[in-house]
């Protein structure tokens, strides 16, 4: 049995180094051939050197350059490069437990599932008293996933069987970091379920997430809210086939509601944290604005259809 670990990264050499140091401590089950694919999405820092320096007696590392920008393009390249029957995905800023590989691939190797949703927890030093479950979920924690029956996964800790790619061959390159920002994992996992595949719960097998502290500022939360709204609108139009009724009226109402809220609730623009209500209002505004824009475009899928093989968009 072979397994491929995939990490897509761009210009985050210091974070990647700490992640790979953590990976060295993970136990590789007996009889498992394991490779690490670091998909370098056009870095100009020390990323290649960090991968070259990685040494593990049971994990062979490969540095693969993918210059087409975006995490989804990186994942698609990984699908083409990976040699394993099971493909595990992690982010470049996580820390692993010693049994991560064995427990994550077990539902697939036992034939009980075609994909696995692992857990993600925020590093303790990044937790703040003002954080709600929404804040923590937006930092990739898996609080929102349903135990025993997850309907999605978080790409920072997931696994799929290679045969899934027979029906769902690619991530959509318009989504995810480097694209609209989000919903890449949500769409792929939704298509996976639509194709009749099963997602197993391994939410107790957690990786620890160490995002940059700049993501805690109010401006970063609002940027994330806007990107999430645009990403949701893309999925809504192209995959779910939302109807666009009274779009301009909805847009005007969303703009007015956000302006009124900000008048009644003035915020410190330089502070860490962001009121959850403001995040929701920005998300709703971006969703309406994004849907108006996407509705002018030809739909890329049949309703709830499976992703067909496609090239990443040119930069």
pTM confidence score: 0.94
Domain that holds residue 52: 2-213
Place of tokens 């997850």: 150
CA–CA distance, 64 with 48 (Å, rounded to integer): 9
* Residues of the chain where predicted confidence (pLDDT) is lower than 70: 307-315
Task: Phi first, then psi: give them for residue 55, nearest 5 degrees.
Answer: -130, 125
Looking at the structure, tell me whether residues 118 and 24 fall in a common domain.
yes
Task: Say which residues have a Cβ less than 8 Å from residue 107's Cβ, sequence separation at least 6.
Answer: 113, 116, 200, 202
CA nearest to 140, candidates 212, 92, 211: 211
d(C-alpha 286, C-alpha 282), whole Å: 6
Domain boundary among 196, 213, 230: 213
The pLDDT of residue 268: 84
Same domain membership, residue 170 and residue 97: yes
The pLDDT of residue 307: 57
DSSP H stretches of helix in 24-170: 47-53, 71-81, 100-109, 133-138
Same domain, 197 and 102: yes
pLDDT tens, 54-100? 999 999 999 999 999 999 999 999 999 999 999 999 999 999 999 99
Residue 66 lies in a domain: yes
Q: What gap in Å lies between CA 16 and CA 27, rounded to an integer?
A: 19
Same structural domain, 268 and 278? yes
The DSSP letter of residue 217 is B
Are the C-beta atoms of residues 72 and 190 closer than 8 Å to each other?
Answer: no
Last residue of a domain, one of 213, 229, 245: 213
Q: Are residues 149 and 275 in the same domain?
A: no
- Given this model, what pLDDT does residue 206 score? 98
Q: Are residues 15 and 144 in the same domain?
A: yes
Q: Which residue from 196, 104, 111 is spatially nearest to 154, judged by alpha carbons? A: 104
Helix H or strand E encompassing 230: helix 218-238
**C-alpha distance across the termini of the chain, in Å:** 37
Domain count, the chain: 2
Residue 271 has a pLDDT of 84
Kindly report the backbone phi and psi dihedral angles of residue 20, in degrees, each rounded to the nearest multiple of 5, phi listed first: -70, -30
The domain that holds 55 is classified in CATH as 3.90.550.10
| Same domain flag for 225 and 275 | yes
Which of 213, 231, 252 is at the close of a domain? Answer: 213
Q: What is the CA radius of gyration of the chain?
A: 20
Per-residue model confidence (pLDDT) at position 313: 52
């Amino acid at each position: 049995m072979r397994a491929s670990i995939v990490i897509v990264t761009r210009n985050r050499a210091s974070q990647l180094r700490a992640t790979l140091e953590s990976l060295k401590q993970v136990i590789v089950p007996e009889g498992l051939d394991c490779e690490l694919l670091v998909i370098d999405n056009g870095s100009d820092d020390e990323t290649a050197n960090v991968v070259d320096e990685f040494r593990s007696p049971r994990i062979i590392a490969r540095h693969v350059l993918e210059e087409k920008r975006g995490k989804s393009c990186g994942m698609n390249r990984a699908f083409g490069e990976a040699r394993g029957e099971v493909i595990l995905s992690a982010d470049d800023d996580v820390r692993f437990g010693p049994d991560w590989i064995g427990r994550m691939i077990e539902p697939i190797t036992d034939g009980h599932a075609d994909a696995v949703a692992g857990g993600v927890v925020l590093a303790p030093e990044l937790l703040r008293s003002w954080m709600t479950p929404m804040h923590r979920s937006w930092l990739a924690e898996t609080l929102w996933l349903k135990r025993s029956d997850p309907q999605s996964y978080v790409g920072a800790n997931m696994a799929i069987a290679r045969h899934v790619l027979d029906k769902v061959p690619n991530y959509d390159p318009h989504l995810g970091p480097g694209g609209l920002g989000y919903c890449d994992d949500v769409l792929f996992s939704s298509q996976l379920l639509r194709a009749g595949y099963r997602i197993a719960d391994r939410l107790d097998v957690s990786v620890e997430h160490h995002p940059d502290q700049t993501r805690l500022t109010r401006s970063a939360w609002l940027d994330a809210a806007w990107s999430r709204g645009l990403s949701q609108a893309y999925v809504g139009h192209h995959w779910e086939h939302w109807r666009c009724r009274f779009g301009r009226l909805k847009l005007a109402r969303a703009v007015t509601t956000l302006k009124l809220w900000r008048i009644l609730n003035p915020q410190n623009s330089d502070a860490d944290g962001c009121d959850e209500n403001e995040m929701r209002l920005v998300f709703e505004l971006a969703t309406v604005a994004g849907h108006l824009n996407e509705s002018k475009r030809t739909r890329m899928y049949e309703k709830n259809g499976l992703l067909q093989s496609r090239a990443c968009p040119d930069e």
